[in-house]
Amino acid sequence: MMFKWILKQPDSNMLVPKEKVAQTYRWRQLGVLLATCIGYIGYYIIRLVFTTEQNDIMKEYHFSTANIGLILSCFGIGYGIAKLFMGVLADRCDSNRYLMVGLLLSAILNIFLGSTHNLYLMMLLMFLMAVTQGMGAAACQKMIQLWWGPRMRGTMYSIWSSAHNAGSFICVAIVQLAVFLFSGSIPAVFYTSSAVSFIICILILVLGADRPKVVGLPDISTYTGDKVILDNGQVSTADQTDLSVGQIFVKYILQNKLVWTVTLTSMSLYLVRYGIQSWIPSYLVQNKGFDPAAAKWIIGIFELASVPGVIIIGAISDALKSRRALVSIACVIGTLICLTLYFFSNNHALIIAALIIMGNLIYAPLTLVGLMINEVVPKYAVGASTGFMGFFQYIFGETLATALIGILVDKFGWIASNSVLYVASFVALIFLFYTAISENKMRQEAESNNN
């Protein structure tokens, strides 16, 4: 019954009158933006509870850094696998309902995660939670692709992407509030975050909508003239198809060179992102002499401070006629400079400043490559492209950033972590240069075909 409920809904027979289409579109777009942003904040509240509490868990449960890395890597592996399959499934489902169900299941599993001290059970629960978390990004990205044209899509996508960061900050705030209210109880922290997410599930259903035609509006291609330029220069405007899942995956994902290039770029950037974010508490306490309580808040500061920068950089990419790879190259170069300050400075104020700037510079290209991979496939393959990229992001990117870095730090110290992050940044730059050249070539081919 639940599975049938989340499947793609038919187009509405009750069409919105032509004179009310523009006004209704604006209101519906606002609702979709709120549903995706608030919904993904809920996903991140659940996702980061364990990361935020890692020092307390190590102390109370007698876990090592390697143990924490293994638990975190289970999420990365599960999330990577889930994003591949859940992304493909999202193309067949009502995106808004799909988003809500994923958060509901994640919050339930989070309650169980907070109720055990067993390392292996924690690893299993983290893996299962990762599967349900894999439903979120594909649903959100698909809704943005279906509700906005290219002139505003970069800005809207960046606003949605900033929900990652807001969710991380809110997670820290919820953790600190729960610690204060419940005398430092670790289970209470997990239960409180799940309770907040249950409320968010209701808001998703009230505010969101799968696609324009479900609520009686014309599709975005009809409304704005939106079109997708494929890697061969052909143009696609359809948001549905009779092709099977397998045919879509082979034709538009596996045989698409740009999908592979953008995916490998994103994988490298994810290694940098999680190589910093997942280890902020441990790195700052063990290597830079920060207070443990202050280190928790710095996770939230790292995330929240990047919100305005990500939105502004997304808008800049729109203003530059969707030249998203060039903007991303500039961001990665800036990230390398900030990484150097973060690794080698012992000045606490300078370290925090580097993290704040780096948050903007890491999340901006991550946001843009997530949009780029959706813009090189037809709209009916957005979930599949998101899932394919997510598979590499988390199976390789996050797993290397958690399990591998945890093991390397145990054996060689934090210098090993620094080396891995430098290499990943340079690899991302190489792929971004290739993508920028390809973007320009595709644009020229599309113009030639139109002429």
| Paired residues of 274 in beta bridges | none
- Among 59-73, 78-92, 414-428, where is mean pLDDT lowest? 78-92
Out of 232-236, 292-296, 340-344, 424-428, pick the least confident: 232-236
Average pLDDT over residues 399-418: 79
Between 195 and 279, the more confident residue is 195
Which residue has 């045919």 as its token pair? Answer: 247
When pLDDT is cut at 50, 70 and 90, the band that residue 235 belongs to is: low
User: Letter for the amino acid at 440?
Assistant: N
pLDDT bin (cut points 50, 70, 90) of residue 214 is confident
Per-residue pLDDT, 150: 74
Helices in 244-347 by DSSP H: which ranges?
245-248, 257-277, 280-288, 292-304, 306-319, 324-344
450 pLDDT higher than 60:
no
Q: How many residues does the chain have?
A: 451
Tokens of 56: 């307390």
Structure tokens at 421: 């992050």
Q: Name the 3-class secondary structure at 211.
A: coil
The pLDDT of residue 409 = 77
For residue 375, pLDDT beyond 70: yes
Give alpha helix (H) positions in 346-404. 348-375, 382-392, 399
How many angstroms separate the Cα of 43 from the Cα of each of 14, 112, 129, 166, 445?
33, 16, 10, 11, 40
Distance CA 14, CA 28 (A): 15
442 vs 23, higher pLDDT: 23
pTM: predicted TM-score of the whole model, two decimal places: 0.73
- Which tokens sit at 179? 């610690």
Is residue 111 predicted with pLDDT exceeding 90?
yes
Answer whether residue 286 shows pLDDT above 90.
Answer: no
Mean pLDDT of 221-250: 65
Rounded to an integer, what distance in angstroms lies between the CA atom of residue 207 and that of residue 204? 5
Q: Could you tell me which residues are beta bridge partners of residue 235?
A: 229
Cα distance between residue 210 and residue 97, in whole Å:
8
Whether pLDDT at 234 is above 60? no
In the prediction, which pLDDT does 445 show? 64
Phi-psi map region of 289: left, alpha, beta (phi>0 left; psi -120 to 50 alpha): left
pLDDT at 66 over 60: yes
pLDDT at residue 1 in the model: 56
**What does residue 211 show for φ and ψ, rounded to 5 degrees?**
-155, 160
pLDDT tier at 305 (50, 70, 90 boundaries)? confident
Which of the residue ranges 77-81, 232-236, 323-327, 337-341 has the most confident prediction, judged by mean pLDDT? 337-341
From the list 271, 284, 269, 243, the residue with the least C-alpha distance to 377 is 243
User: Residues 382-392: what's their mean pLDDT?
Assistant: 80
pLDDT band at 447 (very low <50, low <70, confident <90, very high): low
- Cα-flanking dihedrals φ and ψ of residue 347, to 5°? -80, 115
- The 3-class secondary structure across 242-259, one letter per residue, is CCCHHHHHHHHHHCCHHH
Contact predicate 21/218, CB 8 Å: yes
**pLDDT of 166 above 70:** yes
410 vs 73, 295, 299, 403, CA distance in Å? 16, 20, 22, 11
pLDDT of 228 reads 56
pLDDT of 229 > 60? The answer is no
Cβ atoms of residues 446 and 233 within 8 Å? yes
* Integer CA distances (angstroms), 98 to 32, 109, 132, in order: 13, 17, 10
Residue 288 in this model has a pLDDT that exceeds 90: no
Percent of the chain at pLDDT > 70 equals: 92
Work out the pLDDT band at 219, boundaries 50, 70, 90. confident
Instruction: With a cut of 70, say whether residue 55 has pLDDT above it.
Output: yes
Q: Higher confidence at residue 118 or residue 164?
A: 118
Mean pLDDT of 103-107: 95
CA 444 from centroid of its chain's CA atoms: 31
Per-residue pLDDT tens over the stretch 324-353: 888 899 999 999 999 999 888 888 889 889
pLDDT of residue 30: 92
- The pLDDT, as a whole number, for residue 402 is 72
Integer Cα distance of 364 and 157 in angstroms: 11
d(CA 272, CA 425): 7
Mean pLDDT is lowest, of 138-147, 220-229, 421-430, for 220-229
Instruction: Check whether 2 has a pLDDT greater than 70.
Output: no
CATH code for the part of the protein at 17-450 = 1.20.1250.20
Q: What is the pLDDT of residue 413?
A: 80
Instruction: Tell me what percent of the residues of the chain surpass a pLDDT of 90.
Output: 20
